Structure 1
């Protein structure tokens, strides 16, 4: 078997993660329909079926959470693989330069040393770029394991369900919550 490129594996993981996110978004539409069904069943005073549908709703919400969590973990793993690939490239370059320097020093070939130093200057520029890229990817990895909109939506939902006014530290969510509540108020009036 041939060598497997870490970059290719990372891309496959990212693609699989996006597919999981899309699957979760599809389930979110099902959850919305189920919420409407539960509300309709409550209005019809059909407690048994409403309870069954509510249990199904909870199961689907848990499935959505698991899909988003798995997608986030796949993204992290893909980033780690990309970083690992870059680190391996950097290590190979440094090892190659070290080997060439040792050969040139053993023969005391000044022209070979000058060429090695010139090549190393080019390599050093690439190493610096790779190192900067690794730093950027590590920062992204720690800051974006889950979509911030998903977390904000969950916080707003919980606050609305529990009739809790969000404190001032959640000011940005409060504006979104009020905007989301307007269509619900209009629907209640109809």
Structure 2
């Protein structure tokens, strides 16, 4: 009976984690709108390089929001399966460590890491021969730091059109910024990899 109670507590933890992911998604949505407003102000001032940077930020925040929602949805699917299995008392003890792991990775805000932990959850169910369909992980691709140039120009034009601003965003001088932006992204990715390696070493 004690272990069943413990499992129900773990399921509650997962439900809280899912709600936390949804809160993160709402936060990203607010930040996306804030960056969009900065695009408008920059275009009004004729600062096209600045507008481009804000547009990149806005798109990145939109992608983050979708990733948090996707992860929350995956977690809800796992919780529903766990609920069913708990009632049938068919869940092994190995879930506890993964619950802790997911809560730890949530604290870091690292979407890639959270997705990997979700993969572990889903593998546990496969190991227990629970036939369930889970969403495929698309985190690795969608958390990329680089933003497609066409998306950036498209968002800038969309903002300009929304506010009736007369501007053409396909400006050639923006090319110089694109190169420096990609170099910065490379540094960001290297820094992320280094921190991940440190985390693994500590763990």
Instruction: Tell me the TM-score normalised to structure 2 length.
Output: 0.42
- Computing the radius of gyration from Cα coordinates, the structure with the larger value is 1
Instruction: Tell me the TM-score normalised to structure 1 length.
Output: 0.44
Point out the structure with the larger helix share: 1
